[in-house]
Every structure is written in C-alpha cells, then in structure tokens.
Structure 1
Amino acid sequence: MGFFKKLKETISRQTESVTEKFKTGLEKTRNSFSEKVNDLVARYRKVDEDFFEELEEILIGADVGVNTVMDLIDELKFEAQKRNIQETKDLQEVISEKLVDIYNEAGETSPALNMQENGLTVILFVGVNGVGKTTTIGKLAHKFKQEGKSVLLAAGDTFRAGAIDQLEVWGERVGVEVIKQGEGSDPAAVMYDAVQAAKARKVDVLLCDTAGRLQNKVNLMNELEKVKRVIEREIPGAPHEVLQVIDATTGQNGLQQAKTFGEVTDVTGIVLTKLDGTAKGGIVIAIRKELNVPVKFVGLGEKMDDLQEFDASQFVYGLFGDVLEGTEE
C-alpha cells in the first residue's frame, strides 16, 4: 500500500485539527462517493470493463467533470495493465493516487496566496450573488488578523441592498475597518478611497468586495475591469490576487461561472464555499483540471476558522480516510 502509506505520513505531519476539519467537512461527499466506490469494489472482485463503466458513473455523479473523468478512467486502465492489477480492491489506492496527481499536476499556478512581503497586498473578490463572498472576506480577514497582520476592507458591492451593512457587520466581528460610500456609488471610487486609506495607514492586507455579477451582464463585467484598472494605477502589480468565490453546492454551474469569469478577468484562485453542504465535492478536481486555476480555500463549516487553505492530500484523505485507517503500516 505504497501511496496510502505515503499519504498517511503526509497527513501525520500536519495538524490534527486541520485533518479533522477536512474529514468532517467532506462527510457528505465521503458518504456518497467513497461508499459507492467501496460497494463497487465489493461487487466487482475483478477489474473489467463493466467495473470501469460503473466507476465512471460514480465519478461523474460526484461532479468530478466529464472530461476529467474520461482522462482519469483512461489513466486507471493504463495503470491497472501496467501494474498487472487484477482485483478491484487493489485499484482503490490507485484512484486516490490519481486524484492527487490530477490536482497537483494540473498546472504551474501556486495554491499559496501571492502575499507581498514588503508593502500592501490587495485581494479582489469576484463571483455571483449568494455564493458567500462577503462571509469569505470576513473569515479571511479573521485569519490574517490571527496571523498578526493589519487588515482593511473595501465595500465595493454598492449595488446589492444591504451588502455594505453586511460587510460592516463582519468588520465589527473581526475588528477591522470598512472603507465605504453610499449604495449606488461608483465601485471604482470606493476602491480608490480604500487603496489611499490602506497606503496611508500602512496596512498589510486590503480585501475588496465587489458586486455579484451575472455572466450575461456585460456592463457589470466592464465595471469590474474598471475597478481593477483603478487599483493597478495606484499600486502597480495589484490586485495581487483575484479570488472567485463559488458555491460548491451549485456543482457544474459553478464550473461554468468560473469559465465565464476567467474569460473576463485574470482569476488567480478559487474559494469553494459550502463544501460541507454537498455530496459532490469532486467539483474541486474538475475546477483544477479544466480551468488550470487552483482552489486556494475551501469552506468546511459555519465557524470563523472553518475557511481552510486547500490541500490535495487532506482532500483525498477526507474522502478515503476510513479506508486509510484500515490499511496496515
């Protein structure tokens, strides 16, 4: 059990609390996906074409994505032949291994945030309404404060009623100031004020909210480009991250949102919220494989510290933890 053993060793070097959060947060996906795989392995003792066809259906059902699933099945068939794997139980380890490989080998982009060692780091958040953008900003502000960084929030969503108030509530909870104007104000003007305030106060991180933009609203997409231009003019090289927030429970629709935003702006990373609320956590793999954009954070619960940096090993462990616990050293 070489890969399982290696994965367990990797997990053991990380904090137990993080491992537990991933296992708990992925419970719905694990109960659906892993149980189906385990049942499949129990019913098909030998690796054959029927086994792969059913495995393909299970993976597609977990929202791993059709294109990604086809590639994965081809790789599994190749590995089964190459390693002379005859029994299905011996293929479980290979499935886990390939899921990690798909994520880690999908591209050159880094899963780590592009933080500026000296000076201000500007992070812009984009995404449609209702995906948890404002909540994500609040939780990330909390994370940065816990790390000893000074943080400022920019209320750039001036369209949605109550959006500014919602961000202010998070600002009070976390203990950071919110730079704002009135509802209906020019978002680019808000960003200008926020950047000036951040520079004057020498804060470490500026987190910028934006309006939830529907894919077919060209004028709103143009507004987003204007916001980016204002930020870049004031701080060359900024924004240092453009994070798209996606609701994991929307599945393939979230993948389509990501594709659309990627055509309009340079999305550098994904924040996948409500991963604990879906049985289709395979969307993580589909996003990475099909978009070549890393998932940088995942929402694994409602608590302030349930926004976790994404880790492919923890993700696979969260899916197959029960199987791994039963493996021998």
Structure 2
Amino acid sequence: MKTSDFYYELPEELIAQDPLEDRSSSRLLCLNRETGDIRHGHFRDILQELLPGDCLVVNDTKVIPARLYGRKSGTDALVEILLLKRRENDIWETLVKPGKKCRPGAEIVFGDGILRGEVLDVVDDGNRLIQFRYEGIFEEILDQLGEMPLPPYITHKLKDKNRYQTVYAKNEGSAAAPTAGLHFTEELLKEVERLGVKIAHVTLHVGLGTFRPVKVEDVSEHHMHSEFYVVEEDQARMINDTKASGGRVIAVGTTSCRTLESATGEDSILKAGSGWTEIFIYPGYQFRMIDGLITNFHLPESTLIMLVSAFAGKEHVLRAYEEAVKEKYRFFSFGDAMLIL
C-alpha cells in the first residue's frame, strides 16, 4: 500500500485558520461506512445519530502552552523550543529551532531569566533533551511564557488559549489538541447524556508524531512515535459494559480510537492501565473495540487519513473528502467534523 494512495487535492482557502464562535455550529458530514452514503448537517445534529445505550469515548488530555521563545546565552540568538515529552527531574525532550545552534552544553534563557534550560543531549530525529531550572511552579511559569503549539498550517494568532482545548480537558501533557472534541460544548454533552448515551474518558497525550509526515512510499515502513495513554478501571468497565449490552462504542477522535485499540486485547475486552503506544492503524487493520468514529478532516497522505480509511474504507473516505471539498467544508484542526457509523 502506497502513501500516495491517500492523496487528495485541497484548496488552501479551505484550511480553517480560526475556531468558530460557537463550537457546535461547525458542519458535520455523516458517512455510512458500509454503503458509503453521505449526509450533511451541523455538529449539534449528532444528537439524532446517537442511540440510548451508546458510549462516546473522549480524550481528556490537556494541551500545555508548549511553545517557548528564548535567547541563547552568549550569542543572544533567538531560539524556539517545543516541549514534546516530560522526562524525570525537569528534563524534557524538545524540538529546537534552529537546532544547529543548540549543541549539548548550550544554555537558553527565557523571560528575563525566570526560566533557563541547558541542552543535555541530542536524541532521536535531532530532538534535544533540555534540563530546565526555575523557582516556583513549572506549570505556572509555562502558562506565563508559553504559547499554544498550533500546527504549522495555522498562521493566525490564537486570541483565546482555551479555544485549542476541549471543554473536558483535564490531564496536562499534550503538544497538540485532540481536535475532534473541540466541537462539543458543555450543553451539548449534557444533552448527549440526557439521551441515555454514556460518556467515558481516556487519556492519550498527543505528541507531534501524530502529525509527522509519512516520508516512505510503502505505508508499512512508517514508524509511529510513542505516546502515553491511561485507561482508568471504572472507564474500562463502562466501555466493556456498553459492548456487552449491545451498545455502540464511538471514539471521539483518532487519539481516543488509538487508545482504545491499543488497550483492547484479542478477546475484545478493554484493559485498564497505562503505557506507551506506537500503534499505527492503516487499511487492513482489524478493529477490536470501536463501532463509530467522530473525527475532523485530515491532511493528505497523513497517518490520520490512513486510520480513517482503515475504519471506513479508502474509497468511501476519499469520496467523502472529495464531497467535502466540493461543499467547501473547513479542514484540519479548527475545521468541520465527520461522523462515521
């Protein structure tokens, strides 16, 4: 299977640069994964698609303001740092630009010295391990100095940091938002529960590996970077009970999907626990847990469009994307949504 099999034409003006005023007013394309039938609506119409006894599974990770700008000690050169993975003792794996100027031993100063970082080592893909030093609480300093790590295709400045968080974001640790969840408001979630639909929470801290371009032509040779996930005991029970009683498990986003599929055994039972996953889902994959998927529209040739194609069939998905382009849907992180059942 080739990476180029997942290409589609996207006019640049359809890339959403700003979130909508009302989260739930985004458009919704409903795709029947068996027949390929397509229907158009708005996100709040999702209430008409859900059934009592279903279970929505959301990813409650919280994006940290992970983009920092500092100056290199000695030269005063501007350095941009993106926090990727927290290690022990205030050491982070980071993406540094320009990396060549930040060799081991280099010191970077942020915000007039309230935060300092020393480059310890160069690891996979040129990422840097940086030891941070500060007084006080790291999260508070980060909140003061950091910016939300918006994807490179978003060029507009984000006015409100909370618009790149889901309303249920709780566990800090992501370098990117689980964007399918951005469409839900608290009111809409209450209406979902009033329908008799359960809402279960899992956590997967989204790393940049999710968005890393596939650079090999043979899909099977692509390697996913690992991401940390947690499934609590009570949430696993709720999801397993849904399956046992004939309800549908609907993943809100590719990150929830990857968490569920990583933690579900061959017996189709979801196991509580935590760990690192490198699961790469592309056509041919046999799903163990999910019956439905809410997702945004993804980049051509990305691992995310491959996952969606694995669930709904490549032909159905590419035809739906073609239809979305024709109907001028908004694409990517701040764009419109798709429901696949």
TM-score (norm 1): 0.26
Instruction: Decide which structure has greater helix share.
Output: 1
Instruction: Decide which structure has greater strand share.
Output: 2
TM-score (norm 2): 0.25
